C-alpha cells in the first residue's frame, strides 16, 4: 500500500528551474508514467520521490507521511536505473539475493523470496548464470528481480529499457506491464518514449521544461490533448497540424480556410460554436487531426480537399499515405490495400468529431 502526493514542488539547479511548482497525486497500485523530452524534469522528479534529490520548495507525502527530507534508505522504495548495474562476479541468484542479505534475512527467507521473484519474471532457469552469460532482456529482468525481492512500497524506474533493441523493448513493455498487473505495487516510470508511456501507464504525466502539461489516462491524453505540445508528443505517426482561419459566410456559417486553399472546409455546428465562443473568427488557429481520422478518396468528394500523393509507407497491418496539401505534408492512415501512385490526385476528408483546434498564440486546446 503506497500513495504518493507531491505538493508545489520546486527544484532549481543554479539558475535553471528543473521542476516548476509540480502538483501530482499517485494512487495506491497505480502505474504512473512521467513522459517528456530530455530536460523536462521527469528524472529530477523521480529522484525527489526516491530521496536522492531534495526539493527546494514543496512537500512529498508517502502514505500521508511527510518524507520530504527523509533519506532514500528510509523511504522503502526500489529504484531501477537505466543501466543494468548487476554485480558481474555474482550469479543471478547472488545478485537477486543481495538486497536481502544486506538486510539480514535468513537463508530460508532469502530462498523463498528469490524463487518467488524468479518465478514471476520467468528467470528460474538462469539463477546460476553470471550476468555476462545473459542476453540484454534477461539482464533487465534480473535487475527488476533484485528490486522485486525487497517487496518495496514503490517501484521507481528510470528509462529501464531505453538502451534495448526495438524488438526487445516491445517484449519488455509487455513483461513490465504484466508484472505490474500481477504484483500490483505502486510504480513510477520515467521515459521519453510515448509508446512506452501509452502502452504501460494507467496514468500518463506529460512534462515539458519543468512544467506539468497534462495528467490523464492514455486514452484521454490521446483523444483530448490539452495543448499543442501534448498533441504533438503523443501518437505515432503524430497528429497533423495546419494553420487555418475561420471565417463567416453570408449565411453566418463559420468555415475554415486552410493555408492558401480557396475551397473552404465546412465544419459542424459544434466546432462553429467553439470558434465563435472563443472569439476566433478571422483569427489564425491551428487545426489538428490524427492520421486515422482522415479519409482518402481518389475522386472529388463533398467537403474533401484536393491534395497530391507524396509517398506511401507500408506497415503490414496498415499503410500511411503522405499527401501534400497546400504547404503541409499530411499523413493519412489507410488499409493495406491503399497504395496510390506518387503524385496522384487524392481528396482528403476529416472525421469532424475527432479533430482538435488550438489557439495559435497560447497553443492551448480550444475544445
Partner 1 sequence: MAEIKLVSLKKSFGEITAVNEIDINVKDKEFFVLLGPTGAGKTTTLRLIAGLEKPDKGDIYFDNVKVNDLGPAMRDVAFVFQYYTLYPHYTVRQNLEFPLKSNLRKTPQDIIDKKVAEVAKILHVEHLLDRQTINLSGGEMQRVAIGRAIVRTPKVFLMDEPLSNLDAKLREEMRTELARLHLDLGETFFYVTHDQIEAMTMGDRIGVLNEGVLLQTGTPDEIYNKPIDTFVARFVGSPAINLLDAEIDGKKLIIGKRDRAMQCSLNDYQCKLVGNAKSKSVILGIRPEDIIVSREKQEINSFECSIYFKQSMGVEDVLNLKVSDELIFKAVAPTKFNANIGDKVFANFMMDRSHIFDYESGKRLEI
* CB contact set of 75 (below 8 Å; sequence gap of 6+): 50, 51, 62, 67, 153, 154
Whether 78 and 144 have beta carbons less than 8 Å apart is answered as no
**The residue to which cell 508511456 is assigned:** 197
Residue from the set 41, 51, 99, 218 that interacts with partner 1 by CB under 8 A: 218
- Could you say which residues in the range 164-183 bind partner 1, by CB under 8 A? 165-167, 170-171, 173-174, 177-178, 181
Stretch near partner 1 under the rule CB under 8 A, chosen from 2-10, 99-107, 154-162, 285-293: 285-293
DSSP string computed for 246-290:
EEE-TTS-EEEEETT-SSPEE--HHHHHHHHHTT-TTS-EEEEE-
- Residue number, 89 or 174, with CB nearest to partner 1: 174
What is the side-by-side strand order in the sheet with 57-62?
Answer: 16-26, 4-13, 57-62, 65-66
| C-beta closer to partner 1: residue 77 or 175 | 175
Of 16, 83, 85, 315, which lies in the binding site for partner 1, with binding defined by CB under 8 A?
A: 315
When binding is defined by CB under 8 A, the residue of 149, 200, 206, 294 that contacts partner 1 is 200
Stretch binding partner 1 (CB under 8 A), from 64-72, 90-98, 267-275, 287-295 = 287-295
Cell of 151: 517487496
CB atoms within 10 A of CB 340: 18
CB of 76 or CB of 322, closer to partner 1 = 322
What is the grid cell recorded at 159? 528509462
Question: Which CB, 79 or 189, lies closer to partner 1?
Answer: 189
User: Should residue 327 be labelled a site residue for partner 1 when binding is judged by CB under 8 A?
Assistant: no
CB of 99 to partner 1, least distance (A): 27
Question: Is residue 54 close enough to count as binding partner 1 by CB under 8 A?
Answer: no
Determine contact, residues 142/130, Cβ cutoff 8 Å: no
Choosing from 250, 316, 327, 335, the residue that interacts with partner 1 (CB under 8 A) is 316
Return the SS3 of 314: strand
Q: How many residues bind partner 1 (CB under 8 A)?
A: 43
Nearest CB to partner 1, comparing residues 93 and 229: 229
The stretch near partner 1 (CB under 8 A) out of 39-47, 120-128, 189-197, 276-284 is 189-197
Q: Which three cell numbers, joined as nine digits, stand for 259?
A: 493555408
Q: Compute the distance between CA of residue 126 and CA of residue 309 in angstroms, rounded to an integer.
A: 52
Q: Closer to partner 1 by CB, 236 or 251: give it.
A: 236
Q: Under a CB-based contact definition with an 8 Å cutoff, are residues 232 and 206 in contact? A: no
Judged by the rule CB under 8 A, the positions of this chain that interact with partner 1 are 37, 165-167, 170-171, 173-174, 177-178, 181, 192-195, 198-200, 217-219, 222, 232, 234-238, 290-292, 310-311, 313-317, 320, 322, 329, 333, 342
Amino acid at each position: 500500500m503506497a500513495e504518493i502526493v507531491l505538493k508545489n514542488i520546486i527544484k532549481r539547479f543554479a539558475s535553471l528551474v528543473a521542476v516548476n511548482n509540480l502538483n501530482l497525486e499517485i494512487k495506491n497500485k497505480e502505474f504512473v508514467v512521467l513522459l517528456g523530452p530530455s530536460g523536462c524534469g521527469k528524472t529530477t522528479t523521480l529522484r525527489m520521490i526516491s530521496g536522492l534529490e531534495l526539493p527546494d520548495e514543496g512537500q512529498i507525502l508517502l502514505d500521508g507521511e511527510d518524507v520530504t527530507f527523509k533519506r532514500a534508505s528510509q523511504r522503502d522504495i526500489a529504484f531501477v536505473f537505466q543501466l543494468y548495474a548487476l554485480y558481474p562476479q555474482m550469479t543471478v541468484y547472488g545478485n537477486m539475493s543481495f538486497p536481502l542479505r544486506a538486510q539480514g534475512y535468513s537463508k530460508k527467507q532469502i530462498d523463498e523470496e528469490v524463487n518467488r521473484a524468479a518465478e514471476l519474471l520467468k528467470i528460474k532457469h538462469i539463477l546460476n548464470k553470471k550476468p555476462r552469460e545473459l542476453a540484454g532482456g534477461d539482464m533487465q529482468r534480473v535487475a527488476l528481480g533484485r528490486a522485486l525481492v525487497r517487496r518495496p512500497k514503490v517501484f521507481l524506474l528510470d528509462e529501464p529499457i531505453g538502451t534495448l533493441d526495438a524488438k526487445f523493448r516491445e517484449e519488455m513493455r509487455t513483461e513490465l506491464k504484466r508484472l505490474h498487473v500481477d504484483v500490483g505495487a505502486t510504480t513510477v516510470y520515467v521515459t521519453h518514449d510515448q509508446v512506452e508511456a501509452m502502452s504501460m501507464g494507467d496514468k500518463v504525466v506529460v512534462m515539458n521544461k519543468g512544467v506539468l502539461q497534462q495528467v490523464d489516462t492514455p486514452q484521454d491524453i490521446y483523444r483530448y490533448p490539452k495543448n499543442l505540445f501534448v498533441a504533438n508528443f503523443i501518437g505515432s505517426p503524430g497528429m497533423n497540424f495546419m494553420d487555418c482561419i475561420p471565417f463567416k459566410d453570408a449565411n453566418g456559417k463559420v468555415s475554415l480556410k486552410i493555408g492558401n486553399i480557396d475551397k473552404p472546409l465546412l465544419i459542424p455546428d459544434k466546432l462553429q460554436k467553439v470558434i465563435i465562443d472563443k472569439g476566433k473568427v478571422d483569427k489564425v488557429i491551428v487545426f489538428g487531426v490524427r492520421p486515422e481520422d482522415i479519409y482518402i478518396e481518389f475522386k472529388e468528394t463533398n467537403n474533401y480537399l484536393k491534395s497530391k500523393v507524396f509517398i506511401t509507407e507500408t506497415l503490414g497491418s496498415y499503410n500511411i499515405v503522405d499527401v501534400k496539401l497546400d504547404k503541409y505534408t499530411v499523413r493519412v492512415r489507410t488499409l493495406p490495400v491503399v497504395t496510390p501512385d506518387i503524385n496522384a490526385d487524392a481528396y482528403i476528408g476529416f472525421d469532424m468529431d475527432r479533430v482538435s483546434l488550438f489557439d495559435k498564440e497560447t497553443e492551448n486546446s480550444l475544445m
